Amino acid sequence: MNDTKTALVTGANKGIGFAIAQGLGAAGFTVAAGARDDARREQAVDRLRAAGADAFGVALDVTSDDSVAAAAAAVEKAAGRLDVLVNNAGISGRTGDGIQDPTTLDLDVVRTVIETNVLGVVRVTNALLPLLRRADSPRIVNMSSNMGSLTLQTGPILAAYAPSKSMLNSLTAQYARRLADTNVIVNAACPGYVATDFTGFNAPRTPEQGAAIAIRLATLPDDGPRGGFFDDEGAVPW
């Protein structure tokens, strides 16, 4: 089997996902850049290669069973196994005056956000798990947010987005419990408040800074933490 480790990053065409892909490429991984739009994916792969990474594109819409199955088949064909999965793709969902008001919540917004941020992660993870199990030290990183922390209750009122990340955190714990007696290590990450399309580029941290915790969790040693929620400072309260 090929010695080079392979990492699949979802939503790798821009923002934090691109920075994670670039960082893992610099760390020696072959990067499978998952992105749903053909042109944006090809541009991202070109930029990753220009930065020196060994990268290839994987067509991947996390809301589509067919797309995710095809992506898993593409990774198997290219690499035979998967060492790292970073579930980064995420959306905020429509807001009004910068918030999602629970008292007037549009349930279609909730459904859309859950479909991507929660069900998308389950869909992708379960499709890739057979390939992850073939690796010596498989790692799964779920890109969450401290807005999903029920302890912190931070940020604007976002009654679709914040609960989607709370559920993602809870799922992270369930996966870690289920995989406790395996070599698959699963954790959730919070990137901090990062300047990307997501925040209208109006935030203090760079994508590279936001990517750092995901890269750390993607490269944990075999005795590293499992089923936790971390940012650059350490554990984030659930």
Tokens (6 digits) for 155: 């940020």
Distance separating alpha carbons of residues 141 and 125, to the nearest angstrom: 10
| Residue selected from 68, 71, 74, 194 as contacting ligand NDP according to rule CB under 6 A | 194
- Output the CA–CA distances (angstroms, integers) from residue 159 to 58, 62, 97, 172, 187, in the order listed: 32, 22, 13, 20, 24
**Minimum gap (Å) between residue 157 Cβ and ligand NDP:** 16
The CB-of-227 to ligand NDP minimum distance in angstroms stands at 19
Residue showing tokens 């998967």: 82
SS3 label, residue 224: coil
Amino acid at 213: I
Tokens of 220: 């944990």
Strand, helix or coil at 46? Answer: helix
Separation between Cα atoms, residue 95 and residue 92, nearest integer Å? 8
Contact call for residue 163 and ligand NDP (CB under 6 A): no
Position among 61, 113, 135, 186 found at the interface with ligand NDP (CB under 6 A): 61
Q: Which stretch binds ligand NDP (CB under 6 A): 21-29, 34-42, 127-135, 221-229?
A: 34-42
**Which range binds ligand NDP by CB under 6 A, 35-43, 45-53, 69-77, 228-236?**
35-43
CB of 123 to ligand NDP, least distance (A): 10
CB of 18 to ligand NDP, least distance (A): 7
Q: Look at residue 157 and give its three-state secondary structure.
A: coil
Q: Is 121 in the site for ligand NDP (CB under 6 A)?
A: no
C-beta of residue 31 within 8 angstroms of C-beta of residue 48: yes
| Pick 40 or 133: Cβ nearer ligand NDP | 40
- Position 168 contacts ligand NDP (CB under 6 A): no
- Does residue 193 carry a catalytic annotation? no
Q: Does the annotation count 161 as an active-site position?
A: yes
Tell me how far apart the alpha carbons of residues 205 and 194 are, in angstroms, rounded to a whole number.
Answer: 4
Kindly identify the residues of this chain, within the stretch 62-91, that bind ligand NDP according to CB under 6 A: 62-63, 88-91
Query: Cα(42)–Cα(48) distance, rounded to whole angstroms?
Result: 10
Residues engaged in binding ligand NDP (CB under 6 A) = 10-11, 13-17, 35-37, 40, 60-63, 88-91, 116, 143, 145, 190-191, 193-194, 196-199, 203
Q: What are the residue numbers of the active site?
A: 161, 165
